[in-house]
Amino acid sequence: MSPKLSACWVALGPLLCSCALALQGGMLFPVETPSREVKVLDGLWHFRADFSENRLLGFEQQWYRQPLRESGPTLDMPVPSSFNDITQEAQLRDFIGWVWYEREAVLPQRWTQDTNTRVVLRINSAHYHSIVWVNGVHVVEHEGGHLPFEADISKLVQTGPETTCRITIAINNTLTPHTLPPGSIIYKTDAPFPKNYFFQNTSFDFFNYAGLHRSVVLYTTPTTYIDDITVTTDVEQEVGLVNYWISVQGDDHFQLEVRLLDEDGKVVAQEMGEQGQLRVPSANLWWPYLMHEHPAYLYSLEVRMARTVSDSDFYTLPVGIRTVAVTESKFLINGKPFYFHGVNKHEDSDIRGKGFDWPLLIKDFNLLKWLGANSFRTSHYPYSEEVLQLCDRYGIVVIDECPGVGIKLPQSFGNESLRHHLEVMDELVRRDKNHPAVVMWSVANEPASALKPAAYYFKTLISHTKALDPTRPVTFVTNEKYNADLGAPYVDVVCVNSYFSWYHDSGHLEVIQPQLKSQFENWYKTHKKPIIQSEYGADTIAGFHQDPPVMFSEEYQKALLENYHLVFDQKRKEYVVGELIWNFADFMTNQSPIRVIGNKKGIFTRQRQPKSAAFILRERYWRIVSETMDHHSMPMTQCLGTRPLTF
């Protein structure tokens, strides 16, 4: 970290010692129930970037103690969105440092006057380091983006007749060698650079958007409440097994009733107590999209906690009954071989940056279904919870990836980085553990896993993730050589990125087939694990045409894909279990001589219009579906096979 930014964190020390009320328990998605209310704070917030030389003026002047507008001019900033592309100011688009958000919320009187009601403030995603105040009182701090964090603010809003509260959030998007993703600040002190000139250096290829990317919400629970629910599932003959563990906070004296309802609202199993097993005869399994005539079947787990007749809490969790297993050459869902034919994505769009947007999300899912895609990886960070909820509903299989992208520096493999990485996996698994669509965890993308410290780093990280969730395989995505990768021995599935005839042997399509075939054979011979081609592709400017194909033309992207596909078709009969195109859509990156307003490897433009390659991929994916559909519609008793390595 640079000396100036190091001083920034030291200066903040006294602020971070106040009485934070951060929640250490579960992270259930806020939903309205008979006992819970939700108030979403989407809309315009007051916003101000701290352009002072040390970026600390807001803390020195304590902007959180009074309305933000009293400390200086503010902008209207939409939430959720990234702040970078909202104005016409290049200085704000490329800003590194602290920005400040503020919003006043009006609370219902029943929230502020009923001391049996617990009021919680939840920030669904803030990039990257956040400090939060309510009415000028520090309530929570969080390190890292993409994942939610909460604070119980009941005592701050139930202290008098006031029904409003002022929420102030300071966010710093600075990346260091020990953050996820890592980065470093480079200062240029020699002439002819401007005074105090610095920039953020990163080793990942997407724009470092920042801000409040997802909703900020207030929600209520009773003071004794359901804090967390963990569900795992299995199948025994034709009986579905739903194992549950429930955590209750606030009191030790309560009763728990658990019911499982089918899609028609019929109770199919019920139990009492904090943990147990629900048995579902002739269970409807959760199947991926296009793998079964009735995919994505979801039950509802209804949990009722009661202390008295009038003091109770309710929560309903969707549950998909399915199994995941891995053999030396197969990835199995419900005992049947599953082949990933899908995409890599980004949370990225015009103007909004990484800001959550329902119309864009539904458009993307409609495009996935049009393609015949059955899966995607959350490259290179956890996506919004709403994305995973739709995957559960539609049957789209997910490789859930943490923000471990760009881990290239030796110091990023040290104890400080490892500690943070383990905490991020704690948060990711806690948030996403109950989604049937999530079938595998990915702990990193393209790390420098040939460095000596990588062996201990990934052994520890993967073992920790398996301890958190023994029901799913764990991987990371590599672009190292098969005989140099020190983390690969610890993964359950090999995920490899390669760009033959693009970054290597550029323009030479004829090298793809022999090089790709050699890649697969060497990896499998060395590790004897199923392989996913987790990235491949070529930049393409929509409307550029050249025949014979040349780089950046639509014809070149099509030809590259077709050469890869010929090898995939050979090797998926053996041990290749998936192919994920890079990328679903064009996306923004830092400015670079090799980036023409972003990365153009999408099969769709950033505005979600198809390039020629989209039709090539659509034809291929539907052909794969037609080849396998007859087998996938077999009765459940024929679908369950032996599972040498079951999760």
Nearest-angstrom CA–CA distance, 410 and 452: 9
Identify which of 73, 71, 81, 93 has the alpha carbon closest to the alpha carbon of residue 44. Answer: 81
CB atoms within 10 A of CB 277: 12
Cα 110 from Cα 123, distance rounded (Å) = 22
Pairing of strands 576-581, 531-535: parallel
Long-range contacts of 127-130 (CB under 8 A, 24+ apart): 127/82, 127/171, 127/173, 127/209, 127/210, 127/211, 127/213, 127/354, 128/171, 128/172, 128/173, 128/174, 128/175, 128/179, 128/210, 129/171, 129/172, 129/174, 129/179, 130/169, 130/170, 130/171, 130/172
Q: How far is CA 447 from the centre of its chain?
A: 18
Task: Centre a 10 Å sphere on the Cβ of residue 242 and count the other Cβ atoms it contains.
Answer: 24
In DSSP notation, 54-67 reads TS-HHHHTTGGGS-
Q: Which tokens belong to 121?
A: 């403030």
Q: How far apart are CA 40 and CA 582, in angstroms?
A: 34
Q: Is 278 helix (H, G, I), strand (E, B) or coil?
A: strand
The H or E element that residue 226 is part of is: strand 225-236
Residue 569 makes CB contacts below 8 A (sequence gap 6+) with none
**How far, in Å, CA of 507 to CA of 509, rounded?**
6
Say if residues 496 and 533 touch (Cβ distance below 8 Å): yes
Q: Pick the catalytic residue: 150, 401, 427, 446?
A: 446
Contact 552, 541 (CB under 8 A): yes
Residue type at 206 in one-letter notation: F
Residue with tokens 């052909």: 623
- Are residues 267 and 260 in contact, defined by beta-carbon separation less than 8 angstroms? yes
User: Which residues, including other chains, have CB under 8 Å from residue 338's CB and lie 6 or more apart?
Assistant: 288, 291, 331, 332, 397, 439, 577
Q: How far apart are CA 228 and CA 374, in angstroms?
A: 30
Residue 452: burial class (beta carbons within 10 Å; 0-12, 13-18, 19+)? exposed
Q: Is 446 a catalytic residue?
A: yes
What are the tokens at 369?
């279904």
- Provide the sign of the torsion angle of the four alpha carbons 201, 204, 210, 212, taken in this order: negative
CA distance 364 to 367: 5
SS3 label, residue 325: strand
Q: Which residue has the tokens 């009293």?
A: 70
Q: Which token pair is 28? A: 């259930």
Active centre residues (catalytic): 446
